[in-house]
Structure 1
Amino acid sequence: MSSAHAAENTQSSASVEIRGPITPECEALLSSEAMDFLAELVRAFSPRIRTLLDARRARQARFDRGTVPDFLPETRKIRQQDWQVAPIPEPLLDRRVEITGPVDRKMVINGLNSGARVFMADFEDASTPSWSNMIQGQRNLYDAVRRQIDFSDERGKAYRLNRDTALLLVRVRGLHLPEKDLRVDGEAVPGALMDFALHCFHNSEALLAQGAGPWFYLPKLEHWREAALWAEVFDWAEQRLSLEKGSIRATVLIETLPAVFQMDEILHVLRDYVVGLNCGRWDYIFSYIKTFHAHPDRILPDRETVGMTVPFLRAYSRLLIETCHRRGALAMGGMAAQIPVRDDPEANAAALAKVREDKEREARDGHDGTWVAHPGLIPEAMAVFDAVLAGPNQLDRAVQDHGIGRAELLAHPEGAITEAGFRRNVEVGLAYTAAWLSGRGCVPIHHLMEDAATAEIARAQLWQWLHHSDARFEVGGAITFAFFSQVLEESLAALLQGEGEDGPDAGHYRAAARLFHRLTESEQFADFLTLEAYDSIA
């Protein structure tokens, strides 16, 4: 690879410009061959991604004018016809418990050693997309696939892979996120294509030799045309790498409100590659708020009251199961965000009881597996699904038709907005955003594992409550910008007191407060907190 601009920490190959630092252990990942593969991929599909993102903005503008999502009349035949997705590869048939986490070296080892059936290495909501995080994450996967990964922490504790490990799936970044430190023909590449290209190019052959494969999670799709793009990306990559058709497989996260009306269509266009859909519940709640942020009649109550048993989320989960099983695809349940409370047995028991209740509902309804955020929850979730599953999954279970339509999917939940809920949103949003700016995308706060999705709920709810006069506290009346500023200042002061005015994260707390204040008070609702904050990370 040429190093004509090495003094500026920039390297180029075939109109590929690398602006981020390249450590010796990551240099091979950015070989001329890999960059040529990426450049060809980007040239083929980046214009389509821009067109799809324009379509998102146009669709949201229609929602802002009063339109609501619905099933598409032009694709009715696809929903009515009898068809199935391609057979699921045998190793992916049993996914009863999956654990997710960021792509740092220790977490990759711990995730693969966790005892879950699947570890989802997350380049998206659980990772700050700094260049160093993203490229080192690729190195960690490269080493993990070849079982040459190890790690020693500051206390000298050594981490290595067990003999038996979880299956590896990789969640790429959403289509909306660019990679500013990698450019093709002068343009920042889509982060999703970088994540996909590097993992697929370097690891497909080794994974397939092990009886596995290049398997992915696709996040934040809003339309079946976006799924169709990924089907073409997969086909293109398989041809360029001389892989058999269907070597690449994907599970799609249904975590946006528009996508829930197009699950049949998403499965159909990806039918040669898709193995299932997943209930990305936290992003889905955020998407409900985002879609209806201009609708004063659809204001959500406190986040803590919007659980999977409220009607619109119950309908979403059940329709996903029905759709998947009718088409021969797996229906994965949502994330349990609780983490063990080691210093309080009573609180720990209460947290585990919530997890058990949630997983029992999922297994009873027909989900084939579920997600957890912490290894300590795996035995609880595994026991629930072990008790229900007669085989590797529930695909042979009779499909129930609950008659779910638009009304059920859009049903507005009852509940109150409380001052305590308002303060929690400010605290969680501020603390998480500061951690994200410091490079940590997955943060325990009050015994819950918070990631970008839950921070987005906090930020979006505050915006919605503050910008609509119909939103009022259950006790205390009006929700005002003055009160928001007061609570933000109090939360910042409390965090700085714990950190110290000159502590290593003090600057991140202050920057997070400025960003949170600007986004919340702006008349224009920002699509993504992480996109607004992206230029503030190294």
Structure 2
Amino acid sequence: MCGIFCYIYHKKENNDKRGPDKLSSYSQTFNEQLVETINLIEGPFSLIYYQKSTNLLYFGRDFIGRHSLLIKVEKNESFMLTSTANKSIENIIELPACGIFVMDCNNSNFDLACYPWHASHQRCQTILNDLNLPINITVKESILSSKLTDNNLETIPDNLSYFEADLDTKDVKKSMSELLKNSEINERVESLWKLLKKSIEVRIKLKPEYCKNCIKLILADEINLKCNHSKIGILFSGGLDSTILAAIANEFVPDTESIDLINVAFEKKLKSNGEKIKSNCGVSIFDVPDRLTGRQAFKELEKLYPNRNWNFIETNVSRKELEDCCENIISHLIYPLKTILDESLGCAVWFASRGSGLLSNEEFYESPCRVLLLGMGADELFGGYTRHRTTLRRQGWKALWQELNMELFRISERNLGRDDRVISNHGRQSRLPYLDENVIQYVKSLKPWERCYPTEKMPPGFGDKLLLRLLAFKIGLHETANKTMDAQYLSLISQAETKISDNNSLLTSTKIRNSKIKDVFISAWPKGLEKEFNQLLTREAVEFIVDLIVEFEDGINNLYSSRFKRKLQQTSLKNTLKFLKPNTDDWKVAPVSDRLSNRRLDLGDVSPSNLEHFSAAMCADVQGIQVDFDDGHCPTWFNQIYGLHNVYKAVHNLFPRLPDVSQAPILMLRPRAWNMLEDNFSINGKSIPGSLFDFALLIFHNGKKLQQSNNGPCFYLSKLESYQEAKLWNDIFSWSENKLELPYGSIKACVLIENILAIFEIENILYELRDHSLGLNCGIWDYAASIISKFSNDESFVIPDRNKYLVIKTCHKRGTHATGGMIASYLQKNIGSEDYQNLLNDILESKLMEIQEGIDGFLIYDLSLISAIKNLWKNLKEITKEDLLTLPKGGVTIEGLKHNIRVSILFIYNWLNGKGHFVHQNSVEDSATAEISRSQIWQWIRHSARLESFDDVVVTIKMVHYFAKEILENLLIESEKNGGKYQN
């Protein structure tokens, strides 16, 4: 089924208003004949079917989403279904290909029922929840059949090495010949060949009788004529997928007809001197990688099939034409999708489906074909993406198996509807042989190593899509089978600087014109977060991140090398720490706004990936919220995207039940520390610092809004080790303000003094940040861990149980705030009890002492402590160098050792479950407290620390192993009692 159609339903004032229980009867009223018909359909379709007898409207897309269908709902007003739209139509979205929808036209509202394609409909429910349509959608039990059934991977055999036994890394052709001698491998290749032939045959046999030109003559003059022009075209990059399609299509297209191979190239980028690449030097401005591989594959096809007339069409797209067509035509066709990925792929497919260009004899030619074959789905089915190789390397075959099983679900959520709209714009129809139901069923029945074998032992690129590569070799495409994966990217808006290596990954955008940048890789969106991912990682945001990293590359490298050198010095030399002061005393920290002048109470460890906790914090009566991407947050890719998007929604007032950002506590945004990398975003193959990934997206999307609402933007900077690092941050702030047109000095940052080295440079840190400073904060746990880390070889710095530490204070300098670390106690479970009151009194007594010594504020975790803390403020006291290195007296106890072991184990347990912090024994534990626990245990073993209350008994590794085993066994027993989950 295909074609352009539109259905618009307007509300009738006198509708028969049936009750809400009407939906419950859908399972009875869903026409059985319609169900049977839908289940029999093979191939792509979009369905809109109105059943007059019941006044029910059925609509949906096939289970892979190969045809376009868009939906727009204005609650109680109008309901639209259409195959295409343009940007003037607001709030229209792509209908998910997750099932068949039913609407009762007798009702006054537009509530829907959805019958999922898949028996397990949880994914369907998640997808529908993310649509944010102003109607109710009830997910029913599936009565349909999708053919996307998953097999279980029970065991991984030990003899997989047979794939590698006969490999010759210098002669890949010989290796493929040897592999095909294996009967099992050859049988799989034969089976795939047979299914692909059938898939391509049916898609060619059902082609129109007349080409685009002849059909016009037939319709105009009503004459009979025989059409021998091209009716089949192939989007042809010269890669593995498209060349196999061409070779097999040759068997089924009549000898009298030509086959059009359409190859797109975008004008190369300008040289640094502004001149275009000169074509008279033998190099064309359109000689991009896909053009070169396309020509090679074209020659191989001519050699193998000399009797076929192949039209290799070189479609050349200038920059100006690209910009004009993208703005005026293509952006409307891909709408409502609008990411850089959609734009790039949409442009390539649109120019290819236009089908006009130069033939090899340099004659202009416009393809009259009406059917276009595309290689969509091959990478998903046969493991052709970089992420597949990465998954196998990092997590093994089982993880790759799960990843491949998810691919076909993902592709239905991606781009096939977009491509359908784009290709139809030229009066052609897309057909996707690799996404034939029977091909999918067979390939999904194979084990992952039977589809691909992307191990490091294979020659580069050889193991990617191995089964498909072997098929190419078997049918004679030896040169194509031997091409590495790097040569098979679809060069989009190519200019040699823009590449798309993965249909679910972003690479360098067209505006990145830095000679240092070869490629930028961003991992696929986390499961269920496609919309959030696309809203955050826009073309402009990616450019901002890349520009930031390139601008400060030298400073970043110097930071890491300086840390390494300082660590070596500390382990080889005795303590020689001295206070540093700026060269001048004539300076003050820049004043802050009235809203930022009160820093008494911030909520700490508020991970925005925990929406319930984040929402509660937004409504709390405190001055600020430490929006934590660091110690209190587990930085999985899902948590990062979800958390960053929740901040975006909060700043832009998109949470209807939360206060406006101007009325809520100030969002003190805490990016990760420099020691954490973001492996899901790399430039030239190198992961970028997590701190700058977080900062860049936070300031890019939220900076202007926060500044306009008098909320900063404000940041916590964690784990700085020197004033040079503060200077780097200050330069980053100034650059960002200029780039984003924010007033100079509008970004404010509170430095967390968590490192013993930084405490001796606090005046220099303040001096470097004087125009952007929001003061200093000294946290107890990271500070103590830093002492262990920096002076681990000095026995005089063995420290007692962490619960005996005095709070480390820092003093007021230069007219800015000094705030204390977080009150980690969590008392909500015990409110009203005697224990609660005793613990509260201990907290208040400790905090009152800090206030009397001049502290300006605290961080707390437990919201129930807010009212008790708010009235404790008094005066200031100075602190000396000796105070800073003087640790509280006390020894090591058995209970302290066990406590540290227990915290270390529980932190790992929670971390693996995606949680960056947890509550244990009325205290909040996070990566900082877990690190101090681990560090203490290590230091006590290293220096044979003596146990209190025991004569001549010291901490040993054997003792720690014994207690760890005992504690772990007890935790497992507790977990079993709670259904496999440990209750903190």
Question: TM-score, normalised on structure 1?
Answer: 0.83
1:184 counterpart residue number: 683
Question: By how many angstroms is 1:147 displaced?
Answer: 1.6
2:607 corresponds in structure 1 to 102
Give the Å deviation of 1:11: 2.6
After superposition, the C-alpha distances for 1:288-329 in whole angstroms (9 at most, x for unaligned) are 111111112221111122232xxxx3xxx1xx22xx3x3011
Alpha-carbon offset, residue 383 of structure 1: 2.4
**In the alignment, which residue of structure 2 is the partner of 1:277?**
776
Show CA shifts across 1:149-171 (max 9, x none). Answer: 26xxxxxxxx6447942111101
Tell me which residue corresponds to 1:432.
907
Counterparts of 1:97-496 in structure 2, within 5 Å, are: 97-100=601-604, 101-104=606-609, 105-149=611-655, 160-161=658-659, 164-308=663-807, 313=808, 317=809, 320-321=810-811, 324=812, 326-343=813-830, 345-385=833-873, 388=874, 401-402=878-879, 404-405=880-881, 407-475=882-950, 477-496=953-972
Alignment of 1:2 with 2:354, yes or no, is: no
Specify the alignment match of 2:557 in structure 1: 50
Per the alignment, residue 11 of structure 1 pairs with 506
* Cα-to-partner distance string for 1:47-71 (whole Å, 9 max, x where unaligned): 4223212211221222212322522
Say whether the 8 Å CA contact 2:852–2:877 is kept in structure 1: no
The answer to whether the 8 A contact 2:804-2:888 is kept is no
What amino acid is aligned across from residue 370 of structure 1 in structure 2?
Answer: F
Please give the alpha-carbon distance, in whole angstroms, between the structure 2 residues aligned to 1:162 and 1:214: 15
Is the 8 Å Cα contact of residues 179 and 190 (structure 1) preserved in structure 2?
A: yes
Moved more, 92-101 or 50-59: 50-59
Aligned partners of 1:462, 1:47: CA distance in 2, in Å? Answer: 37
Q: Distance in 2 between matches of 1:107 and 1:115?
A: 14
Q: Helix, strand or coil: the match of 1:338?
A: coil
Return closer, same or farther for 1:12/1:367 CA change in 2, 3 Å cut-off: same
Structure 1 residue 205, shift from structure 2 partner: 1.5
Matched letter for residue 415 of structure 1: G
Alpha-carbon shift at residue 213 of structure 1 (Å): 2.4
Name the amino acid aligned to 1:374.
D
Aligned to 1:90: 594
Q: How many angstroms does 1:110 deviate by?
A: 1.1
Please tell me the residue identity of whatever aligns with 1:499: S
1:30 has 2:518 as partner? no
- 1:17 shift after superposition: 1.2
- On the 8 A contact 2:975/2:981 being kept in 1, the answer is yes
Larger radius of gyration: 2
SS at structure 2 position matched to 1:332: strand
Residues 853 and 877, structure 2, Cα contact 8 Å, conserved in 1: no
- Equivalent residue of 2:507, what SS? strand
RMSD over aligned Cα, in angstroms? 2.2
Question: Contact 1:95 / 1:368 at 8 angstroms: preserved in 2?
Answer: yes
Q: 1:371 offset after TM fit, Å?
A: 1.0
Deviation of 1:26 after TM superposition, in Å, equals: 2.8
Which 5+ residue runs of structure 1 have no aligned equivalent? Answer: 151-158, 389-396, 510-538
TM-superposed deviation, 1:282: 1.3
CA contact (8 A) 2:707 2:742 kept: no
Q: 2:976 aligns with which of 494, 500, 518?
A: 500
Quickly say closer, same or farther: Cα 1:420–1:266, change in 2 above 3 A.
same
| Pair 502,54 (structure 1): closer, same or farther in 2 beyond 3 Å | farther
With over 3 angstroms needed to count, the CA separation of the structure-2 counterparts of 1:62 and 1:505, relative to structure 1, is farther
Q: Structure 1 residues 470, 169: closer, same or farther in 2, change over 3 A?
A: closer
Mapped partners of 1:103, 1:46: distance in 2? 29
Alpha-carbon offset, residue 494 of structure 1: 1.5
The alignment partner of 1:12 has SS state of coil
**Residues 77 and 283 of structure 1: CA distance in aligned 2, closer, same or farther (over 3 Å):** closer
CA distance in 1, matches of 2:524, 2:622: 34
CA drift of 1:2 comes to 2.5
Shift of 1:5: 4.3
One-letter identity of the residue aligned with 2:506: Q
Question: Which of residues 562, 566, 569 is equivalent to 1:62?
Answer: 569
Question: What is the rounded CA distance, in whole Å, between the counterparts of 2:762 and 2:581 in structure 1?
Answer: 12
- The residue matched to 1:17 in structure 2 has which SS? strand
Question: Structure 1 pair 195/69, CA: closer, same or farther in 2 (3 Å)?
Answer: farther
After superposition, what is the alpha-carbon deviation per residue over 1:460-485, rounded to whole angstroms, capped at 9, x for unaligned?
00000111135445426021111111
Residue type at the aligned position of 1:440 = K
Q: Say if 1:68 and 1:474 are closer, same or farther in 2 by CA, change over 3 A.
A: farther
1:499 offset after TM fit, Å? 1.8
Return the alpha-carbon distance in structure 1 between the equivalents of residues 949 and 567 of structure 2: 30
Which of 86-95 and 50-59 deviates more? Answer: 50-59
Take 1:461 and 1:401, find their aligned partners in 2: how far apart are those partners? 29
Counterpart residue number, 2:249: none
Tell me by how many angstroms 1:505 deviates. 5.9
Deviations 1:31-56 (A, max 9, x none): 01000000010112244223212211
How many residues end up aligned between the 2 structures? 470
Poorly superposed stretches of 4+, deviation over 3 Å: 3-7, 75-78, 159-164, 399-402, 470-474, 501-506
- Deviation digits for residues 193-250 of structure 1 (CA, Å, limit 9, x no counterpart): 0111001000111112212221100000010000000000001101111111011110
Separation in structure 2 between the aligned mates of residue 494 and residue 86 of structure 1, nearest angstrom: 54
Tell me the CA shift for residue 502 of structure 1.
11
Q: Structure 1 residues 179 and 504, CA, compared in 2 at 3 Å: closer, same or farther?
A: farther
Distance in 2 (CA, whole Å) between partners of 1:96 and 1:184 is 41
Partner of 1:531: none
TM-score by length of 2: 0.46
More RCO (CA 8 Å, sep 6+): 1
The alignment-based identity, stated in percent, is 31
Residue aligned with 2:846, SS = helix
The verdict on how the C-alpha distance between 1:185 and 1:256 changes in structure 2, with shifts beyond 3 A counting, is same
Distance in 2 between residues matched to 1:252 and 1:425, nearest whole Å:
28
Cα distance in structure 1, aligned partners of 2:548 and 2:794? 39
Residues 434 and 505, structure 1, Cα contact 8 Å, conserved in 2: no
Evaluate the alpha carbon distance shift between residue 119 and residue 341 of structure 1 in structure 2; reply closer, same or farther with a 3 A threshold: closer
Assess if the C-alpha contact under 8 Å between 1:443 and 1:450 holds in 2: yes
Q: Secondary structure at the match of 1:327?
A: coil
Q: Does the 8 Å contact 1:231/1:269 carry over to 2? A: yes
Q: 1:132 and 1:452, CA in 2 relative to 1: closer, same or farther beyond 3 A? A: same
Aligned position for 1:392: none
Cα deviation digits, residues 429-453 of structure 1 (max 9, x gap): 1101210121101100001011111
More helix, by proportion: 1
